[in-house]
Each structure stands twice: as C-alpha cells, then as structure tokens.
C-alpha cells in the first residue's frame, strides 16, 4: 500500500529512505538519524528510559510503534524490542527506519518487527517485561502537535479512544514487570498508575505488575 484511501498521503522512496508525503505540502517525513541521536543525548535520564527501566536484558513490546522513535531509543539503551504497528503505510516507514537506524540490533535479533494489531499480539502466548503504549492523542483545537511527523500521523490515522482502554487491560495481562503509557501531561488517568513521570508536555504512567 503506497497511498491511503483518501489519496491525500503517499509513500515515496528517496536515497535518504522512505518518506510519507501529503498532497499539496512540500517535503515528506521519515525518522532520521538526527532525530534518534538528539533523543539519545539524555540517555538513561530520559523520562521514557526511566519509565521503562530500560537497560540490557529488558524485553519491551512497543505495541503502537508508529515511526519507531521511542522503540529504537529503547533499543539503543540496550532493551530487546518488539515493534508492532498495524497501519500498512506506517509499518512500511517503521520497517525502513528500523533497517536504516537499528540494523545491528535487527541482525542480532534484538529488534523484531510485527505488522499486526497489538490486541492480537497481546492476546498471544509471548510475554514481555515491559509493554509500552503510545496511543494517538485526541485532537485539541488549541494544542499544536509537536512536529510534522506527529501532524501527518494524526491526519492519516485519526484517533480511536475506545481501543485504548482495551489495549491497556490486555497490556496489563501481558507485561511481566510493567505497562508504560505515554499521555499528554494533563490527560486523565486510565485507572490508578503506580507512579507517573511528568515532562513539560507529556507524562508516562507506569503500572507495575502485581504478580
């Protein structure tokens, strides 16, 4: 699939990698090495890293992987990461970005890619130390999305709230150690997290397993 149903978005292969283009707009979007490097400057001090207790030996299911920035960050911090994305065009971008930016971990088997609905994966037999969820945020008139990648994703995919509660319930059954959910800083809780790490724009709600 190289074009979405509405015909507003299409994929284009450049020498720098696969890009998502929106008709009527100049330039496309992809995950770049610069994005990942900038993210990794904070290393384990990143809220994402602390929320997931990232490090060697930790297995993570990034159940809503998108372009893969969060998942590849966790991989670079030593986690073995399974990246799951259900939308075919976004999955193509994820696969391309992972081959460009995570090839060594991919070759070692420390990154796995799944084109699937996370609900099916969470219902399956595999367990992960951490299940990480970064759902689409509901659109708010006054809130600007942080970057062009996020804007394009929101336009392409929209937002599905009813699925989120279902995903969280399933994730809590599947995670050996914790479920981590990225939320907007002031969004309501989905249940009672064990603790939350708050940043300027987003927060990470952490639900520790009680097994």
Size of the site for ligand SAM (CB under 6 A): 21
Taking CB positions, which residue lies at the least distance from ligand SAM? Answer: 66
Do the beta carbons of residue 61 and residue 128 sit within 8 Å?
yes
Name which of residues 70 to 89 contact ligand SAM (CB under 6 A): 70, 84-87
- Give the number of other CB atoms < 10 A from CB of residue 151: 15
Give the C-alpha distances (Å, rounded to integers) separating 61 from 80, 94, 113, 139, 196: 9, 15, 10, 26, 19
**Which stretch, 4-12, 75-83, 100-108, 113-121, contacts ligand SAM (CB under 6 A)?**
113-121
Give the residue with the Cβ less far from ligand SAM, 152 or 207.
152
Give the residue with the Cβ less far from ligand SAM, 115 or 208.
115
Give the residue with the Cβ less far from ligand SAM, 58 or 84.
84
**Which stretch, 22-30, 67-75, 188-196, 203-211, contacts ligand SAM (CB under 6 A)?**
67-75
**Strand 111-115 to strand 175-184: parallel, antiparallel, or no bridges (unpaired)?**
unpaired
- Interacting residue with ligand SAM among 28, 49, 52, 66 (CB under 6 A): 66
Give the residue with the Cβ less far from ligand SAM, 123 or 198.
123
In 124-174, which ranges are E strands?
128-133
Residue 157 interacting with ligand SAM (CB under 6 A): yes
Give the residue with the Cβ less far from ligand SAM, 68 or 193.
68
Residue 134 interacting with ligand SAM (CB under 6 A): yes
- Give the number of other CB atoms < 10 A from CB of residue 157: 15
Q: What six digits make up the tokens of 192?
A: 């009672």
Please choose, from the candidates 87, 74, 86, the residue with its C-alpha nearest in 3D space to the C-alpha of residue 178.
74
> Least distance to ligand SAM from the beta carbon of 67, Å?
4
Residue 6's SS3 state is coil
Rounded to 5 degrees, φ, ψ at 186 are -105, 10
Give the residue with the Cβ less far from ligand SAM, 184 or 210.
184
Rounded to 5 degrees, φ, ψ at 165 are -60, -40
Residue 168 interacting with ligand SAM (CB under 6 A): no
Do the beta carbons of residue 169 and residue 175 sit within 8 Å?
no
- Residues of this chain that interact with ligand SAM (CB under 6 A) are 64-70, 84-87, 90, 117-119, 134-136, 153, 157, 163
């Amino acid at each position: 699939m190289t074009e979405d149903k509405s015909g507003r978005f299409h994929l284009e292969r450049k020498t720098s990698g696969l890009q998502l283009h929106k008709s009527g707009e100049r330039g496309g979007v992809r995950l770049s090495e610069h994005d990942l490097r900038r993210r990794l400057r904070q290393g384990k001090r990143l809220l994402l890293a602390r929320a997931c207790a990232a490090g060697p030996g930790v297995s993570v299911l990034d159940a809503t992987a998108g372009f893969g920035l969060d998942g590849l960050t966790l991989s670079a911090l030593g986690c073995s990461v399974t990246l799951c994305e259900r939308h075919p065009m976004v999955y193509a971008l994820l696969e391309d970005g992972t081959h460009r930016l995570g090839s060594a971990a991919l070759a070692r088997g420390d990154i796995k890619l799944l084109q699937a609905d996370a609900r099916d994966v969470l219902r399956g037999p595999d367990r992960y130390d951490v299940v990480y969820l970064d759902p689409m945020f509901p659109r708010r008139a006054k809130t600007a999305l942080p970057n062009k990648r996020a804007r394009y994703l929101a336009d392409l995919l929209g937002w599905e709230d009813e699925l989120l509660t279902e995903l969280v319930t399933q994730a809590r059954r599947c995670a050996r150690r914790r479920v981590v959910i990225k939320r907007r800083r002031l969004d309501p809780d989905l249940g009672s997290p064990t603790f939350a790490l708050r940043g300027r724009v987003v927060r990470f709600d952490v639900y520790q397993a009680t097994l």
